[in-house]
Amino acid sequence: MTAKIEVVHPGVFATVQDLGRPGLAAIGVGRSGAADRGSLRLANRLVGNPEGHAALEVVLGGLVLRFSAPATVAVTGAPCSITVSGRAAGPCSPIAVGPGDELVLGMAARGLRCYVAVRGGIAVPAVLGARATDTLGKLGPPALSAGMTLPVGHRVLDHPGVDLAPRAALPDEPVLRVTPGPRVSWFVPGTLSTLVSSPFTATADVDRVGVRLEGPELARAREGELPPEAAVPGALQIPPSGQPILFLADHPVTGGYPVLAVVDEADLDLAAQIRPGQRVRFRYS
């Protein structure tokens, strides 16, 4: 029998995420999926799932789940305390839970997003080929709420035989590599140098769409707005305020502000762990 999971408490904000819906931007559907894709993949590997299975993305922690049947789970991403019916458990490691057990995530002291994978995957219905919640495009299941029941799928792979995965610590001041974007010419000369030579601070405006940053003004050389043009995850869009918005998983498919630079795909997982108030630096890729 596969387990059902009851959401006792969703914590700050939790969604079902997988690797999203790539390739549908032309019909107005963004990629979405886990903001920190590496942590999602790792959590899935630890419980013997294919890497793209649906799991839970939990902002800051605080999630409480109750299991109806034995299950294997793993928690990755932002480090937080983990208990199973009061017994402490470790991150980045398969955890056995029994029927009636409650899995409780404490609040993360660093980073922003924790991932909880369950052996078999979260088996909510797929929408356009994915189970991810796109918070901007309003696709996929609703965000987790107390009392919700999550179905668990059947296992498809053998256990990986790994007890613990090593994990790089999240840096205090992440450094994100960038390459130039398409609209460098919209900015005064030297703006890219300003971007890579000064620290920026994440404002309180951080969600799955993006991270609004504060720092030296990235000044435009010309007025006006662009007609809408396609964006990618990692794009640094600069509104007239001169303060950049770093696009994450649920970014708009098209945007009207010029993109100065693009954070490398390889550093997007790090970007997804930026907390409000945290300092960030950019450097040339």
Complex with another protein: residue 115 or 186, whichever CB lies closer: 186
- Among 70, 153, 180, 216, the residue binding another protein under the rule CB under 8 A is 180
Q: How far apart are CA 107 and CA 104, in angstroms?
A: 10
181 near another protein, rule: CB under 8 A: yes
Complex with another protein: residue 69 or 226, whichever CB lies closer: 226
Q: How far apart are CA 182 and CA 186, in angstroms?
A: 9
Q: Kindly identify the residues of this chain, within the stretch 8-37, that bind another protein according to CB under 8 A.
A: 22-23, 25-29
CA distances from 249 to 19, 141, 208 (A): 10, 16, 6
142 near another protein, rule: CB under 8 A: no
- Per-residue exposure over 62-94, b if at least 16 CB sit within 10 Å of its own CB, e if not: bbbbbbbeebbbbbbbbbbbbbbeeeebebbbb
- Among 8, 64, 69, 127, the residue binding another protein under the rule CB under 8 A is 127
Which residues, at least 6 apart from 139, have a Cβ–Cβ distance to it below 8 Å? 21, 29, 32, 127, 128, 132, 133
The residue range among 99-107, 145-153, 213-221, 251-259 that interacts with another protein, by the rule CB under 8 A, is 251-259
Among residues 281, 284, 269, 285, the alpha carbon closest in space to that of 57 is found at 269
Binding mask 194-233 for another protein (x = CB under 8 A): ---------------------------------xxxx-x-
Binding mask 258-277 for another protein (x = CB under 8 A): -x-xxxxx------------
Question: Cα–Cα–Cα angle for 40, 41, 46, nearest 5°?
Answer: 100
Q: Work out how close the CB of 228 gets to another protein at its nearest, in angstroms, rounded to a whole number.
A: 5
Among residues 211, 97, 114, the alpha carbon closest in space to that of 167 is found at 114
What H or E segment, with its residue span, contains residue 283?
strand 279-284
Complex with another protein: residue 101 or 134, whichever CB lies closer: 134
- Among 14, 116, 253, 270, the residue binding another protein under the rule CB under 8 A is 253
Complex with another protein: residue 82 or 249, whichever CB lies closer: 249
Complex with another protein: residue 130 or 170, whichever CB lies closer: 130
- Among 179, 193, 197, 198, the residue binding another protein under the rule CB under 8 A is 179
The residue range among 11-19, 104-112, 136-144, 166-174 that interacts with another protein, by the rule CB under 8 A, is 136-144
- Per-residue exposure over 185-223, b if at least 16 CB sit within 10 Å of its own CB, e if not: ebbeeebbebbeeeebebeeebebbbbbbebeebebeee
Complex with another protein: residue 126 or 143, whichever CB lies closer: 126
Residue pair 7/146 in contact (Cβ under 8 Å)? The answer is: yes
Interface ranges with another protein (CB under 8 A): 22-23, 25-29, 127-128, 134, 137-139, 178-183, 227-230, 232, 234-235, 252-254, 259, 261-265, 285
